[in-house]
C-alpha cells in the first residue's frame, strides 16, 4: 500500500485501480487512461486461455515499459496445475520472476509453495479462485505468506468492510466486469460438459446458455455485469488495497473507458462525486458489455440475472438480416466503423461467430463509418457460407486497437521484447520430491467412504462395511446420530462434512455444532474450503481433518501444502484425467489420499437461487437434465447423470491411498444406489455413471 495515493480524508490511501491487459493494445489503453497497475497472463497457466496473452519476451517489455510509466504489473499464474505440468510451470515461474513483476496472482497451492520457496522476493496474491470469503480463509492465506487476497466476487459491501478491516493481509476486490453464476472457484459445469475447466481458464460459459424449466426457455443463470461506481465513496473509507476491473478478454475500447471512469470517480471529491458518477455511468453504457448492475455489493443476494434478451457481451447494434452471400443488413442502434469487431448471435445464450468488419455500404456506397440510425450492409463471411442472421453486437473497436498498436508505448514494449531470451533453469529433482513406482491396485480391496444425507438408513448402510460414513454437519444429523449411539461401536467411523460456503451467521453456527460433536467424542471432519481448516483447528488441534474434492488437488505439491496446513488427507480433484491420475499414483503423499468414485457432484455452486426457477428438471438445449438442491447456504445444480470413475478401481493408487468416496447425497433411493454400485464393483463390470474427464482429458 506504500505506492497508493493518499485519500482526500488524509487517512486511508486510495486503492489502486488494477486494469486487465489481455494484449498490448489493452495494456496501452489501460496505462493511458490512468491505471495504477495492470494484470497480465502468459500463454500458459493463466485462467484466461482464450485471451491474447503475452509471451515471456513480451512480458519483459510490459514490465520494463510499465515501470518507466510508474505502473505496477501483476502476473496471473492463476490456473490449477496438473501434476505433469509442474516442471514447465516452475520454469516459467522462475523465468518470469527474473523480470521482477510486482506480484504473482496464484490459485494453485502447489505452485504457491514453489513460488514461496524459489521466488521469495516476488509478492504472492491469492486469486479469487481460492474462494476465500471469510476471516478464517484470510488467516490461512496469511499463514502461507501470501501478501494479498483477492476476495470472492460474491460478497456484499458490509462483508467486504468487515473482512478488509480485520484482514491480516492486503485485500483486493473486483469493482467492475462480468460475474459468474457459480461462486468463484467452485464451478465444475464447463469441465463436466467437455473437459474445459473454469479453474484452468477454459470455461465455455454454460451459465450463459438457454435452459428450459416448467415450459419456459430462458437464460436462468446468466448474471448481468457488475458496476461498482456508485459504491466508490464507501470503499474509499475502507483499508482496501486494490480495485480490480475484470476483462482480459475485452478490447482496448472497453478497458480504456472503464479505467477512465473509475479514475475520475476515485479522484473526485465528495462534493462533485455524484455528478462525476452520473456522467461516467452514462459513458459506460455506450461501450461493449452486458447490462450493468450492482452485483452482490448492494447487499441483495445478487443483481438480477438476465432472464431474457441481451445477455451477450457487447454493444447491441441491431437485428441483422441476410443480404446476400456473407452479407447482412441492419439499422444501426449505435455508431460503427471499419475494422470494428462484431459478434453475430443467433439467439439468447448463444455466443455466436466473431467477425472483423472490412467492408460496409450505406445507400449503395462504401463508407468507413456510419452513425446510429443508418441502414447499412456489412460483409461478414465468405461467399460459400449459409445466409447469416441474428443479433449483432460490437465487441471491440478495431480502429482504436490499430491506433494503440502503433503508439509509442507499444513500440517501446516491442523493442524491449525484441532480443530478450528468458532464462529457463533446470528443474532440480528435489523441487518435486522422489518419484516411485505406483502402488498396484488391489483387486478385492476397495475401501468405501459412504457420503450420506443423514443417518436415517444407517443400519442398512453399515451392512456394506464402509471404511467411513460421511455426514453433513447439521444440527438434525448430530441429534439423530446421537439417538442411534447404542447401535454404534465407535464414533471413529464417522466424518462430518462442512458445506462449501460459510458466510456470516452460518460460520458461527457450524463452529458451535462442531464443538458439540467434539464433546461427544467425534474427531473426524471434512472441509471444502481452506478457511474451514482454521475454523476447526481453533476448536481442537488434535482433530483429524480431511479435504474434499473442491480443494482442487491436481498435483502432489498441492496435496502436500494442504497436509502442511493440518489435513490428515485430501481428495484428488474430480477434474483429474487419466494422465494426471497416473502421475499422482507415482507420487508420495505425506497424508492420506481419497478418490471420488461415484455421485452427483454440484456443477454450479451459487449464493443465489434464480427466483423464476420452478420445480422440476432444468433442461439444456441438448436435452441434458439438471436438478436443483441446497448444500448449506449454497444453491447447487447437479446433473441427472451420476459420475462413476470405475477405471480407478483397476488403476494404480498413490502411496497413502485410504479409500473411494461414494457420494449418495441427494439420491432418491440411496440404499438401492449403494446395492447397484456394490454389484458393479464386485463384478468388475457395469457403468452406473459417466467418467467425467478420465478418458477425454482435462484442458
Query: How does pLDDT run across 359-382, given as a tens digit for each residue?
Result: 999 999 999 999 999 999 999 876
Whether residues 611 and 530 share a domain: the answer is no
The reply to whether 635 and 647 lie within a common domain is: no
Same domain (yes/no): 103, 57:
yes
Select from 83, 110, 118 the least CA-distant residue to 557: 110
Q: Is residue 691 part of a domain?
A: no
Q: Which of 342, 373, 402 is the last residue of a domain?
A: 402
Q: Are residues 37 and 165 in the same domain?
A: yes
Answer whether residue 258 is part of any domain.
yes
User: Residue 349's pLDDT is what?
Assistant: 64
Closest CA to 313 of 280, 348, 283, 365: 348
- With beta carbons less than 8 A apart as the criterion, state whether 530 and 137 touch: yes
Residues 260 and 207 in one domain: no
Mark whether 23 and 146 lie in a shared domain.
yes
Residues 91 and 200 in one domain: no
What are the residue ranges of helices labelled H in 207-358?
Answer: 232-236, 252-267, 273-284
pLDDT of residue 1: 34
pLDDT of residue 29: 97
Residues 6 or more apart in contact with residue 120 via CB below 8 angstroms: none
Domain assignment present for 417? no
Residue 326 lies in a domain: yes
pLDDT for res 306: 54
Residues 444, 354, single domain; the answer is no
Tell me which of 306, 327, 346 is where a domain ends.
306
Q: Specify the length of the chain in residues.
A: 699
Per-residue model confidence (pLDDT) at position 557: 95
pLDDT of residue 593: 97
- pTM exceeds 0.85 for this model: yes
In a domain, 431, yes or no: no
Is residue 419 a part of any domain in this protein?
Answer: no
My answer on whether 154 and 208 are in the same domain is no
Give me the pLDDT at residue 444, please: 56
Percentage of the chain beyond pLDDT 90 is 72
Looking at 245, 280, 306, which one is the last position of a domain?
A: 306
158 and 246: one domain?
A: yes
Q: In this structure, what CATH number is given to the domain that contains residue 559? A: 3.20.20.110
**Secondary element (H or E) of residue 56:** helix 56-69
Q: How confident is the chain (699 residues) per 10-residue block, as mean pLDDT?
A: 40 89 96 97 85 89 96 97 94 94 98 96 98 97 98 95 97 95 95 95 91 92 92 97 95 95 96 94 86 84 51 84 91 93 79 87 94 94 77 89 94 89 75 60 74 91 92 94 78 91 91 92 96 95 95 96 97 97 92 96 94 92 95 94 93 92 95 90 76 94
Asked whether residue 471 falls in the same domain as residue 570, the answer is yes
Q: What is the 3-state secondary structure (H, E, C) of 347-397?
A: CCCCCCEEEECCCEEECCEECCEECCCCEEEEECCCCCCCCCCEEEEEEEC
Write the CATH number for 381.
2.40.30.10
pLDDT value of residue 301: 55
Boundaries of domain holding 484: 440-599+643-683
- Is 593 found in the same domain as 465? yes
Domain of 40, CATH number, reads 3.20.20.70
Number of domains the chain is built from: 4
Amino acid at each position: 500500500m506504500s505506492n497508493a495515493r493518499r485519500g482526500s480524508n488524509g487517512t486511508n490511501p486510495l486503492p489502486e485501480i488494477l486494469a486487465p491487459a489481455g494484449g498490448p493494445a489493452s495494456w496501452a489503453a489501460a496505462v493511458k487512461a490512468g491505471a495504477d497497475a495492470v494484470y497480465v497472463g502468459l500463454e500458459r497457466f493463466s485462467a484466461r486461455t482464450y485471451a491474447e496473452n503475452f509471451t515471456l519476451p513480451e512480458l519483459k517489455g510490459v514490465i520494463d515499459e510499465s515501470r518507466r510509466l510508474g505502473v505496477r504489473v501483476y502476473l496471473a499464474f492463476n490456473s490449477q496445475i496438473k501434476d505433469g505440468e509442474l516442471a514447465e510451470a516452475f520454469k516459467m515461474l522462475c523465468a518470469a520472476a527474473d523480470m521482477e513483476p510486482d506480484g504473482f496472482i496464484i490459485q494453485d497451492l502447489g505452485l504457491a509453495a514453489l513460488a514461496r520457496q524459489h521466488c521469495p522476493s516476488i509478492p504472492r496474491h491469492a486469486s479469487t479462485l481460492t474462494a476465500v470469503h471469510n476471516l478464517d480463509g484470510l488467516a490461512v492465506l496469511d499463514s502461507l505468506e501470501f501478501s494479498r487476497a483477492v476476495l470472492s466476487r460474491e460478497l456484499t459491501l458490509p462483508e467486504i468492510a468487515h473482512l478488509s478491516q480485520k484482514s491480516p493481509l492486503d485485500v483486493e476486490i473486483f469493482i467492475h466486469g462480468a460475474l459468474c453464476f457459480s461462486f468463484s472457484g467452485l464451478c465444475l459445469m464447463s469441465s463436466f460438459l467437455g473437459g474445459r475447466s473454469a479453474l484452468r481458464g477454459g470455461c465455455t460459459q454454460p451459465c450463459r446458455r438457454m435452459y428450459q424449466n416448467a415450459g419456459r426457455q430462458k437464460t436462468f443463470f446468466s448474471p448481468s455485469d457488475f458496476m461498482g461506481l456508485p459504491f466508490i465513496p464507501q470503499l474509499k473509507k475502507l483499508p482496501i488495497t486494490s480495485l480490480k476491473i475484470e476483462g482480459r478478454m475485452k478490447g482496448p475500447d472497453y478497458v480504456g473507458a472503464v479505467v477512465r471512469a473509475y479514475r475520475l470517480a476515485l479522484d473526485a471529491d465528495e462534493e462533485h462525486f455524484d455528478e462525476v458518477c452520473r456522467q461516467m455511468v452514462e459513458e459506460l453504457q455506450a461501450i461493449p458489455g452486458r447490462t450493468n448492475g450492482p452485483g452482490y455489493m448492494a447487499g441483495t443476494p445478487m443483481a438480477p440475472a438476465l432472464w431474457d434478451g441481451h445477455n451477450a457481451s457487447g454493444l447491441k447494434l441491431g437485428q441483422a438480416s441476410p443480404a446476400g452471400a456473407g452479407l447482412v443488413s441492419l439499422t444501426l442502434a449505435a455508431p460503427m466503423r471499419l475494422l470494428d469487431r462484431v459478434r453475430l448471435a443467433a439467439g439468447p445464450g448463444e455466443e455466436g461467430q466473431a467477425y472483423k468488419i472490412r467492408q460496409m455500404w450505406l445507400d449503395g456506397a462504401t463508407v468507413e463509418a456510419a452513425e446510429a440510425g443508418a441502414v447499412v450492409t456489412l460483409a461478414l463471411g465468405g461467399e460459400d457460407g449459409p445466409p447469416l442472421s441474428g443479433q449483432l453486437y460490437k465487441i471491440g473497436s478495431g480502429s482504436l486497437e490499430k491506433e494503440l498498436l502503433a503508439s509509442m508505448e507499444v513500440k517501446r514494449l516491442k523493442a524491449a521484447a525484441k532480443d530478450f531470451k528468458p532464462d529457463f533453469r533446470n528443474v532440480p529433482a528435489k523441487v518435486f520430491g522422489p518419484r516411485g513406482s505406483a502402488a498396484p491396485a488391489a483387486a478385492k480391496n476397495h475401501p468405501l467412504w459412504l457420503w450420506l444425507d443423514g443417518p436415517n438408513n444407517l443400519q442398512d448402510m453399515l451392512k456394506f462395511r464402509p471404511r467411513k460414513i460421511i455426514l453433513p454437519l447439521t444440527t438434525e444429523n448430530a441429534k439423530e446420530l446421537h439417538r442411534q449411539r447404542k447401535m454404534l461401536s465407535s464414533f471413529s467411523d464417522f466424518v462430518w462434512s462442512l458445506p462449501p460456503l460459510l458466510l456470516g451467521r452460518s460460520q458461527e453456527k457450524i463452529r458451535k455444532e462442531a464443538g458439540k460433536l467434539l464433546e461427544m467424542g467425534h474427531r473426524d471432519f471434512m472441509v471444502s474450503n481452506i478457511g474451514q481448516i482454521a475454523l476447526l483447528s481453533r476448536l481442537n488441534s488434535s482433530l483429524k481433518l480431511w479435504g474434499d474434492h473442491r480443494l482442487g488437488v491436481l498435483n502432489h505439491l498441492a496435496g502436500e501444502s494442504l497436509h502442511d496446513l493440518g489435513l490428515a488427507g485430501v481428495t484428488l480433484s474430480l477434474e483429474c484425467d487419466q494422465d494426471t491420475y497416473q502421475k499422482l499414483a507415482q507420487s508420495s503423499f505425506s497424508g492420506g489420499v481419497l478418490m471420488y468414485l461415484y455421485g452427483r457432484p454440484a456443477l454450479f455452486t451459487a449464493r443465489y437461487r434464480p427466483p423464476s426457477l420452478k420445480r422440476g428438471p432444468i433442461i439444456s438445449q441438448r436435452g441434458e437434465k439438471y436438478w436443483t438442491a441446497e448444500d448449506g447456504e449454497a444453491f447447487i445444480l447437479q446433473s441427472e447423470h451420476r459420475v462413476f470413475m470405475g477405471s480407478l478401481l483397476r488403476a494404480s493408487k498413490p502411496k497413502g491411498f485410504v479409500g473411494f468416496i461414494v457420494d449418495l447425497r441427494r439420491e432418491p433411493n440411496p440404499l438401492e444406489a449403494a446395492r447397484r454400485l456394490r454389484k458393479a464393483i464386485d463384478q468388475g463390470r457395469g457403468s452406473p455413471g459417466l467418467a467425467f474427464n478420465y478418458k477425454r482429458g482435462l484442458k
